[in-house]
């Protein structure tokens, strides 16, 4: 059994514009500061950003994969005994024969309170295997033993922009984040997945948050666990060069967002002129 009790992170000399607190995730997501997830959405689709964060038209749909991703965070935030006390377990009519959520169960889960997390028999079996594998790793044991705080929020200035980050955990030396992935061998295959999901941007922004809190510069650690048998896991950092790319991307997007808000313009810039259609080389063959 694992039950985690951590002290709170001590202020080592925050900037006057920096705030650290332990408000719940729902309140955190209502803050006006810009998060890394918002920047990633802006980079993919300015119009989606507008509808979700400016117009308030949420396009979120229920995702069993996303739901499962919250379980690992909740487990290590609450500790084993409290996690199982707070888990919402679906009854038989909401489950398939294999123990996963049925279509009816997914509709039921989508209507639960935002803070609730669903634990199906299928997910519980998988989660126990992942936790066991994680706790077998010496780096994970060392990180948990050295943890001084977890699930805290930072509001800070970054190059003239107000930003926010929600940190899974921290030691005295670095921040860390729990990540689940469907790749079988995360040590070798996680890189492309991480870049596609903008984790280099997250690493850069969390590094900026740590500096704003008065701590020394350090790269965050990703504790990665595969959701595919045999549930391999690893602890990794982003290369310095990739973090620098993430930093430049974040700052460019923060400037772009300020401009878009000022001019209330949410189309892609390239659509403001007639351009040549981008045709991949493989489509040109045999035409």
Q: Chain-wide mean pLDDT for the chain?
A: 90
pLDDT average, residue stretch 53-63: 76
Bigger pLDDT: 143 or 78? Answer: 143
pLDDT more than 90, % of the chain: 68
b/e for 211-235, b at 16 or more Cβ within 10 A?
bbbebeebbbbbbbbbbeeebbbbb
E strand or H helix that includes residue 277: none
Q: What is the pLDDT of residues 225-250, one digit of tens each?
A: 999 999 999 999 999 999 999 999 99
Examine the pLDDT at 42 and tell me if it is beyond 70.
yes
Amino acid 62: pLDDT: 63
Query: For the chain, how big is the Rg over CA atoms in Å?
Result: 21
Structural domains present in the chain: 19-59+137-268 (3.90.320.10), 61-120 (no CATH)
Closest by CA position to 180, among listed 66, 20, 10, 81: 66
CA distance 79 to 118: 16
pLDDT average, residue stretch 14-21: 80
Q: Which DSSP symbol is given to 32?
A: S
pLDDT-based confidence at residue 15 (cuts at 50, 70, 90): low
User: Are residues 207 and 220 in contact, defined by beta-carbon separation less than 8 angstroms?
Assistant: yes
Lowest-pLDDT choice from 46-60, 231-245, 249-263: 46-60
Closest by CA position to 119, among listed 88, 95, 93, 75: 88
Amino acid 1: pLDDT: 36
Amino acid 3: pLDDT: 42
pLDDT average, residue stretch 149-170: 95
Report angle CA 40, 239, 157 to the nearest 5 degrees: 50
User: Are residues 161 and 258 in contact, defined by beta-carbon separation less than 8 angstroms?
Assistant: yes
Q: What is the pLDDT of residues 162-213, one digit of tens each?
A: 999 999 999 999 999 999 999 999 999 999 999 999 999 999 999 999 999 9
Bigger pLDDT: 224 or 103? Answer: 224
Sign of CA dihedral 128, 232, 5, 153: negative
Amino acid 263: pLDDT: 96
Bigger pLDDT: 145 or 109? Answer: 145
Amino acid 115: pLDDT: 78
Examine the pLDDT at 257 and tell me if it is beyond 90.
yes
């Amino acid at each position: 059994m694992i039950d985690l009790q951590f002290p709170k992170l001590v202020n080592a000399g925050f900037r006057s514009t920096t705030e650290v607190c332990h408000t719940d995730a729902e309140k955190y997501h209502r803050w006006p500061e810009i998060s890394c997830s918002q920047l990633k959405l802006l980079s993919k689709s300015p119009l989606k950003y507008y509808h979700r964060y400016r117009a308030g038209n949420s396009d979120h749909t229920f995702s069993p994969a996303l739901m499962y991703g919250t379980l690992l965070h909740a487990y290590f935030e609450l500790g084993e005994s409290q996690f199982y006390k707070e888990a919402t377990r679906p009854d038989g009519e909401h489950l398939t024969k294999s123990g996963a959520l049925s279509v009816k169960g997914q509709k039921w889960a989508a209507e639960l309170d935002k803070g609730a997390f669903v634990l199906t028999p299928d997910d519980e079996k998988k989660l126990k295997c992942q936790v066991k594998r994680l706790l077998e790793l010496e780096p994970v044991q060392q990180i948990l033993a050295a943890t001084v705080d977890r699930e805290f929020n930072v509001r800070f200035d970054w190059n003239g922009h107000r930003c926010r980050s929600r940190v899974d955990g921290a030691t005295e030396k670095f921040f860390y984040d729990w990540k689940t992935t469907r790749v079988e061998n995360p040590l070798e295959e996680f890189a492309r997945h991480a870049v596609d999901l903008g984790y280099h941007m997250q690493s850069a922004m969390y590094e900026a948050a740590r500096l704003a809190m008065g701590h020394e510069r350090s790269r965050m650690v990703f504790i990665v666990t595969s959701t595919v048998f045999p549930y391999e896991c690893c602890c990794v950092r982003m290369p310095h060069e990739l973090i620098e790319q993430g930093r430049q991307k974040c700052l460019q997007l923060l400037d772009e967002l300020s401009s878009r808000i000022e001019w209330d313009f949410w189309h892609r810039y390239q659509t403001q002129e007639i351009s040549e259609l981008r045709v991949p080389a493989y489509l040109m063959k045999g035409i």
